[in-house]
Structure 1
Amino acid sequence: MLNINIPSLSSWPTDIEEATLIQQQLRHQVSDEDQLGDIRYVAGVDVGFKDNYTITQAAVAVLTFPELELVDKAIVTLPTCFPYIPGFLSFREVPGILKALEKLTITPNLMICDGQGIAHPRRFGIACHLGVLIDVPTIGVAKSILVGKHSDLPPEKGSRVDLIYKGKTIGVVLRSRTNVKPLYVSIGHKISLTTAVDYVFNCLTKYRLPETTRLADKLSREKVDNL
């Protein structure tokens, strides 16, 4: 039985003004302290789009930790409910992710999102939003930078430097493979930055992306029967 409280989204913002207000209100609930129990299962979440972006396909992949073996997965499709606007990714993707989570049979102890956590203009990216809504530790792992600057990153796997925005550390730039583009790791909820980077690194195999994200991304692009 899934041990996560999935909120009911009876209403969902449809414009930037309302979405910005929600980000500003909820960001104060984000915790940057480790509140992790026994991490037996880690999940990756990702979202793809079909039919000229009118259909959202959300996917969750649950893996054992530290073995990284796939043990549960879920895919859902639904109408896309929010336009693509940088900085408001969660309002486009979270409704589908919540629907996918409802289909799981194994409860993840930690979730890794394909997107930002607090490395965000209003300190409330998709990893924060999802973490606060479901009260589960979350990490943001993005493939590109949204805000902030950093020093030069050595080319070797495991190299890391701080991501700085307005004088504060908001994340870590992590080299997941030697001589490939880095990842941008930031906290989502109920985890410290140091711990978040350690978990992301331990979810890496031979690919640029952590195994959680790689498998969720693959599921989000699969052809499903109800499309």
Structure 2
Amino acid sequence: MESPRAPHPWNVTPTEAVALQKRLREQLILEPPPGLRVTRLAGADISTEKGNDTGYGGMVVLDAQTLQPVARAVATATLTFPYVPGLLSFRELPVLAAVWERLTVRPDVLVFDGQGTAHPRRVGIACHGGLLFDIPSIGCAKSLLVGTPGKLAERRGATSPITHKGEVVGMAVRTRTGVSPVYVSPGHRMDLDTAVEWVLKVSPRYREPETTRHAHRLVNAFRRAGGEAAEMAEGSPG
């Protein structure tokens, strides 16, 4: 498959990364492509272990109707950027870029286990990744990085805007009745309403979307195997 676009070098300092984020923000398109038709969605995740500078990345593509896996890929890369809150994409995206090159089936939407615009500079990993892979993208996080949601009803499907500095940056979304919400925000080529709609569609039973659940299981198995799992990169979901 084609390689992702390279919008900038990865060997940057945290200060340079912040400056890059401000430039990347200007490139974001916060609305979906006209007539967006979603037949496949993918989840992306990486796994790491303490004392090891290897990142184990994976993506799983799901059929949008059945939510069954149709393709997956894994790859490893050395983590060279430090762990800095708000700069997660500079640490993880080089790993996911290697995965993207091996993915044999392209999704229509990519869901990241992290933030989109609900970010101090409005450029979370879902925004950065959407730009890198030129794909509609969604951030779906388990915790808030910035902002405050309003009161949220207990029922599944309840939503409450997340505001930060007077701006709506995302939405708290209850994917299971009586269970803590997830925090959804658009990445690139996506708007908030469409992002929320798809997160609810791909979260029929659990708090986390199926995209994230499949990707999380894949990368943890890949890490436990020490990265020795070439068959995981094949198109078959088995």
**Is the 1:14–1:81 contact (alpha carbons within 8 Å) kept by the matching residues of 2?**
no
Residue 162 of structure 1 pairs with residue 157 of structure 2: no
Q: Which residue of 1 aligns with 2:27?
A: 29
The code of the aligned residue for 1:45 comes to A
**Is the 2:28–2:127 contact (alpha carbons within 8 Å) kept by the matching residues of 1?**
yes
Aligned 1:33-72 pairs, distance under 5 A: 33-35=31-33, 37-72=36-71
Q: Distance in 1 between matches of 2:154 and 2:83?
A: 33
Per-residue deviation at 1:108?
0.6
Per-residue CA deviation, residues 140-190 of structure 1 (Å, 9 max, x unaligned), is: 001000000121211111111000011111100001111211100000010
**Is the 1:62–1:71 contact (alpha carbons within 8 Å) kept by the matching residues of 2?**
yes
Q: Which residue of 2 aligns with 1:208?
A: 207
Q: Identify if the C-alpha distance between structure 1 residues 23 and 226 changes in structure 2 by more than 3 Å, giving closer, same or farther.
A: same
Per-residue deviation at 1:93?
0.5
Q: Distance in 2 between matches of 1:9 and 1:131?
A: 12
SS in 2 for 1:43: strand
Per-residue deviation at 1:53?
4.2
Q: Distance in 1 between matches of 2:112 and 2:18?
A: 20
Q: Which residue of 1 aligns with 2:13?
A: 15
Residue segments in structure 2 that go unaligned for 5+ positions in a row: 229-238
**Is the 1:24–1:122 contact (alpha carbons within 8 Å) kept by the matching residues of 2?**
yes
SS in 2 for 1:201: helix
SS in 1 for 2:96: helix
Per-residue deviation at 1:33?
1.2
TM-score normalized with structure 1 length: 0.94
Per-residue deviation at 1:7?
2.5
Residue segments in structure 1 that go unaligned for 5+ positions in a row: none
**Is the 1:120–1:146 contact (alpha carbons within 8 Å) kept by the matching residues of 2?**
yes
Per-residue deviation at 1:97?
0.6
Residue 114 of structure 1 pairs with residue 121 of structure 2: no
Per-residue deviation at 1:66?
1.9
Aligned 1:168-179 pairs, distance under 5 A: 168-179=167-178
Aligned 1:148-159 pairs, distance under 5 A: 148-159=147-158
Per-residue deviation at 1:14?
3.6
Per-residue deviation at 1:38?
2.0
Q: Distance in 2 between matches of 1:187 and 1:10?
A: 22
Identity within the alignment, %: 39
TM-score normalized with structure 2 length: 0.90
Per-residue deviation at 1:8?
4.8
SS in 1 for 2:19: helix
**Is the 1:59–1:100 contact (alpha carbons within 8 Å) kept by the matching residues of 2?**
yes
Q: Distance in 2 between matches of 1:78 and 1:133?
A: 17
**Is the 1:13–1:19 contact (alpha carbons within 8 Å) kept by the matching residues of 2?**
no
SS in 2 for 1:221: helix
